[in-house]
Amino acid sequence: METTANLISEMAHTAVEDCYQCGKCTAGCPMADVMDLMPNQIVRLAQLGEEGRAVACGAIWLCVSCQTCTQRCPKSVDIAAVMDAMRQLSLERGTASESVKRTVAFQRAFLDNIRRNGRLNELELVGQYKTMAFLGDVSVPLLFKDALLAPKMMQRGKLHLIGEKVKDRAVVRRIFDRCMRQE
Amino acid sequence: MQIGYYPGCALHGSSNDYEMSVRATLTALGVQLKELDDWICCGATAAHSINKKLSMALPARNLAIAERDGYSEMLAPCPMCSMELLKTIKELSDSPSLRREIAEVIELPIKGKTQVVNIIQVLQMVGVERIREAVKRPLSEFRPACYYGCLLTRPAKILKFDDPEQPDSMEEIVEALGAKPVQWNYKTECCGAGMTMANEDTVISLSHKILSNAEAHGANCVVVACPMCHVNLDMKQRDIERRQGARHRLMVYYISDLIGLALGLGEHELGIDRHFVSAPLAAVKE
């Protein structure tokens, strides 16, 4: 039977079993002070086959993917990739907590935008993300928050009303479908 | 010199000031950029957080286009794009079966042999000495804090660029322009990057620490080579000041801005007048 440690190691293309809990990842993490589980604890849970606790925590969504942990790990465990694997599992199992819904909504809106346009259309993304977060009842003021920045961006020629689209959008859609299907 | 060019979404969106700056400065240095035909988004944080295969397929499609069109070297000025491209090259080179699988997904053959470089590497290819010789207006009043952030150097195994803890390639370049870079502690700390929208509190607190440390070490401006770092440190600076009750007013330049200025190019041409913070450089205390 495949153990969970193997599952995370396989998903993250790294060997979580190599971790000896020195805590260097947590020491250098810019988000550790607001995390509910520390990066080294998340790796430990992966080792023990208790990833169920890790995929329900808020920490995996607070991780900013800065790669400091991966860079500094004396055992070459790719902790940032472990975080990615945990996020992916969390979505598959539907364990993302209420507090991280905004982040999840944003990532989903981002990908949906790319799937349709091939390139990011920022204005459309903002609208879509706010609507998704709003419908998910995350936060109503969110809808209006960035409205203050938009005119200033427009004034500086930094916001385009009509975003770029790639010519071959059909292939982008097929790539997305193939990747999502093989999940 | 001619080189393939992958702008990425940020440089064709709200970070168009970075693209203006990169194009103007590299043109002045005799580098010709050939934009990749019908490039697509690299997927960024969203793809690698949600779907591993997609996070390889999107960069791979761009790499395959680069191979098809004969670009052996390609500039990706955004470190997020750059890292996603390089990570994909590494994964592909490790596994022939993955190469076949991804080729089917992206509908193009792929070897993963393109050399992807960041803006600093292109400047190094031009040569620091050549840049020094081209300076028309030395930047003696500039005391920049060179800020590398995360993805320019980390993880070193993939990026293979500079030192991940104590990088100094930008300092070498700005010194050649006549500027005096400061020594400081937050060179490689994270600014919160792509969390700008999803988790703004994070960005505000991390970026505040970075700006404060730069000032504490005598910097009168910050230099970056990343569109996300620029958004967080420049566009969000007013928010940071409001929320943290601090006053920063630090100009945030792209590395290409400083070279352009030293070569005699104008602020408008370089897109500097599109930045949010516009403040005179604080006088240097000797």
* DSSP string covering B53-121: HHHHHHHHHHHHHHHHTT-SEEE--SHHHHHHHHHHHHHHHH-HHHHHHHHHHHTS------EEE-HHH
Residue B76: phi and psi, rounded to 5, are -125, 100
B40 and A114 within 8 Å at the Cβ level: the answer is yes
Closest C-alpha among A141, A139, A159 to residue A149: A159
CATH of domain B2-117: 1.20.1050.140
How much is the pLDDT for A1? Answer: 45
Domain locations in chain B as residue ranges: 2-117, 135-274
**Residue B32 near residue B64, CB atoms below 8 Å:** no
pLDDT (tens digit per residue) in B204-232: 999 999 999 999 999 999 999 999 999 99
For residue B278, with 0-12 CB atoms within 10 Å meaning exposed, 13-18 middle and 19 or more buried, which class applies? exposed
> Distances in Å between the alpha carbon of A13 and those of B150, B179, B202?
21, 43, 28
In chain B, which among 67-96 make CB contacts under 8 A with chain A?
91
Using a CB–CB cutoff of 8 Å, tell me whether B219 touches chain A: no
Closest C-alpha among B226, B212, B116, B123 to residue B171: B123
pLDDT (tens digit per residue) in B249-277: 999 999 999 999 999 999 999 999 999 99
Is the model's pLDDT at A140 over the cut of 50?
no
Query: pLDDT grade, residue A142 (50/70/90)?
Result: very low
Residue of B18, B21, B49 for testing the chain A interface, max A β-carbons within 10 Å: B49
B46 and A107 within 8 Å at the Cβ level: the answer is yes
- CATH 1.10.1060.10 domain extents, chain A: 4-93
**Which ipTM score applies to this complex?**
0.90
Which amino acid type is present at position B128?
A: V
Is the model's pLDDT at A141 over the cut of 60?
no
pLDDT (tens digit per residue) in B145-195: 999 999 999 999 999 999 999 999 999 999 999 999 999 999 999 998 767
Residues of A in contact with B50 (CB under 8 A): 87-88, 91, 107-108, 111
Look over chain A and give the mean of its residue pLDDT values, rounded to a whole number.
Answer: 85
Nearest residue in B to A85, CA atom:
B49
B276 and A156 within 8 Å at the Cβ level: the answer is yes
Closest C-alpha among A120, A119, A44 to residue A82: A44
Is the model's pLDDT at A153 over the cut of 90?
no
**Once rounded to an integer, what is the mean pLDDT over residues A72-97?**
93
Q: Is pLDDT larger for residue B107 or for residue A94?
A: B107
**Once rounded to an integer, what is the mean pLDDT over residues B113-134?**
97
A120 and B41 within 8 Å at the Cβ level: the answer is yes
**Once rounded to an integer, what is the mean pLDDT over residues A76-95?**
93
> To which H or E segment does residue A108 belong?
helix A101-117
How much is the pLDDT for A139? Answer: 47
**Once rounded to an integer, what is the mean pLDDT over residues B242-248?**
93
In chain A, which among 49-88 make CB contacts under 8 A with chain B?
62, 64-68, 70-71, 78, 80, 84-85, 87-88
Q: End-to-end CA distance of chain B, in Å? A: 40
> May I ask the CATH architecture of the domain B135-274?
3-Layer(aba) Sandwich (3.40)
Residues of A in contact with B51 (CB under 8 A): 88, 111, 179-180, 183
Least confident of A27-36, B8-17, B118-127, B188-197: B188-197
**Inter-helix orientation angle B79-94/B96-106, to 10°:** 120
Is the model's pLDDT at A136 over the cut of 70?
no
- The alpha carbon of residue B12 is apart from the nearest alpha carbon of chain A, in Å, by 8
A64 and B16 within 8 Å at the Cβ level: the answer is no
Q: Is pLDDT larger for residue A54 or for residue A140?
A: A54
Using a CB–CB cutoff of 8 Å, tell me whether A138 touches chain B: no
**Residue B188 near residue B167, CB atoms below 8 Å:** yes
Q: Is pLDDT larger for residue B207 or for residue A132?
A: B207
**Once rounded to an integer, what is the mean pLDDT over residues B25-39?**
98
Least confident of A34-38, A151-155, B123-127, B207-211: A151-155
A106 and B47 within 8 Å at the Cβ level: the answer is no
Closest C-alpha among B132, B130, B161, B131 to residue B148: B161
Cα distance between residue A8 and residue A47, in whole Å: 9
Residues of B in contact with A122 (CB under 8 A): 9, 13-14
A30 and B206 within 8 Å at the Cβ level: the answer is yes
B57 and A103 within 8 Å at the Cβ level: the answer is no
CATH of domain A4-93: 1.10.1060.10
Neighbours of B122 (CB within 10 A): 22
Is the model's pLDDT at A60 over the cut of 80?
yes
**Residue B186 near residue B147, CB atoms below 8 Å:** yes
Residues of A in contact with B82 (CB under 8 A): none
Query: pLDDT grade, residue A95 (50/70/90)?
Result: confident
**Residue A112 near residue A128, CB atoms below 8 Å:** yes
How much is the pLDDT for A144? Answer: 47
Residue of B51, B161, B206 for testing the chain A interface, max A β-carbons within 10 Å: B51
Cα distance between residue B4 and residue B66, in whole Å: 7
- The alpha carbon of residue A175 is apart from the nearest alpha carbon of chain B, in Å, by 6
The single residue listed with the structure tokens 């949600």 is B50
How much is the pLDDT for A124? Answer: 82
